[in-house]
Amino acid sequence: MNCIRSVPPHIAALKPYEAGLTPEDVRERFGIENAIKLASNENPLGTSPKAIEFACRSLSDMARYPDSGLALRRRLADEFNTKLGNVIVGSGSEGIMANIVRTFLLDDDEILTTEAAFLGFQVLARGRGVHYRTVPYRNWTYDLPAIADAINDRTKLIYLANPNNPTGTYFTRSEFERFYAKVPDRVLIILDEAYFEYAAECPDFPDSMNYRFDNVITLRTFSKAYGLAAARVGYGFAHEDLITMLLKVKLSFEPSGASAAAALGALEDEAFLRMSVESNRTQLAYVSEALRALGHRVVPSAANFVMVVTETASQADRLFNDLLREGVIVRPLKATGIPNALRISIGIPEENRRLVSAVSTARIPVLASA
């Protein structure tokens, strides 16, 4: 097919996104009725009833185009003590990331980030066809000094997720400040804080709202602690001129009316947010300690998931399959670039107990170095 032959090679080389297995897939494949999904870092408590109520109410207006996210931008500006001109909303924070990549990069520019960065960003960056450079992790954390040293004349965009997916680690305020001092102001830094609400409790976590530099854009999402992953609503804060550029390429009507309404409802329900963060705090500690007690290497996490590192890729495969047979779906990290690790989302207490029990019966040897 001629039209396919003319697809640029950097697009042809990508793989379509493969959604993880669902409990229904596991029922069909293994005949297990009550499989649980701990694979996509969603909120295991579900969605705030207020968010659902607001979304339902908005449905009676479905014949009309939505307001382009304006009411939500206003509400976020109020909530975070900033101005409307400093706020953008979009179809998930990934949607905003796509607009950043589209807005700022020329063909000769380079993107710089860590190895095995958040897969969604890798795909967007590689799909733009510019040079994509990475720096290895240090102790599963962004090596910020090495990233700063790797900046060259072509570096246009640096992507930092804090806390990071898939490792769950975060960099501290002083680490970020030392790093920022070395970044030329022509380089745009994305600070992706998809897991901000969970990490905000760490005393040395660098809340990027305190770093309103001209070349920093903060990205956050309603998909995690707010329990609205399917609604696809993300938001960002940056200098007004930068936001204006993004508004030029943003799809006119993202996010959808019902999604923006759900986000507005979620912002009204502080109790749900608090409960979600508290539940994650105790359950994250439980899962991390229980898996370590079983001899696994669990990377310390400030998010709503943990990364478990195995000695070899085949051990990670085996653990993944053993858990699947017990009806527990977790995320293998081969596609992200860490084939010897799994990412496990934190669930509600019964789910986490089931995970720990399934891990205890899995056949992988306990690590000598754990």
Name the site residues for ligand PLP (rule: CB under 6 A): 41, 92-94, 118, 120, 161, 165, 192, 194, 221, 223, 229, 234
CB of 163 to ligand PLP, least distance (A): 8
Token reading at 190: 């994305």
CB of 121 to ligand PLP, least distance (A): 7
Nearer to ligand PLP, 290 or 307 (CB): 307
Strands 110-114 and 341-345: unpaired
Residue number with the smallest Cβ distance to ligand PLP: 92
Nearer to ligand PLP, 193 or 326 (CB): 193
Nearer to ligand PLP, 66 or 234 (CB): 234
Nearer to ligand PLP, 66 or 163 (CB): 163
Q: What are the backbone angles phi and psi of residue 236, rounded to the nearest 5°?
A: -145, 155
Q: What are the backbone angles phi and psi of residue 70, rounded to the nearest 5°?
A: -65, -45
CA angle 355, 301, 179 (to 5 degrees): 160
Nearer to ligand PLP, 100 or 161 (CB): 161
Residues sharing a CB contact under 8 Å with residue 346, sequence separation 6 or more, in sequence order? 38, 44, 280, 283, 284, 287, 304, 305, 306, 352
CB of 97 to ligand PLP, least distance (A): 7
What would the 3-class secondary structure string for 100-118 be?
Answer: HHHHHCCCCCEEEEECCCC
CB of 324 to ligand PLP, least distance (A): 21
Whole-angstrom distance, CA of residue 116 vs CA of residue 135: 9
CB of 94 to ligand PLP, least distance (A): 3
CB of 310 to ligand PLP, least distance (A): 21
What Rg do the C-alpha atoms of the chain give, in angstroms?
21
Nearer to ligand PLP, 91 or 315 (CB): 91
Q: What are the backbone angles phi and psi of residue 26, rounded to the nearest 5°?
A: -70, -35
Whole-angstrom distance, CA of residue 298 vs CA of residue 310: 9
CB of 38 to ligand PLP, least distance (A): 13
CB of 170 to ligand PLP, least distance (A): 11
Nearer to ligand PLP, 121 or 179 (CB): 121
H/E element, 248 = helix 240-249
CB of 93 to ligand PLP, least distance (A): 4
Cβ proximity of 341 and 169 under 8 Å: no
309 conformational bin, left if phi > 0, alpha if psi -120 to 50, beta if neither: beta
> Could you write out the DSSP letters of every residue in 301-325?
-SSSEEEEE-SSHHHHHHHHHHHHH
Nearer to ligand PLP, 42 or 326 (CB): 42
37 conformational bin, left if phi > 0, alpha if psi -120 to 50, beta if neither: beta
Nearer to ligand PLP, 110 or 192 (CB): 192
Cβ proximity of 20 and 320 under 8 Å: no
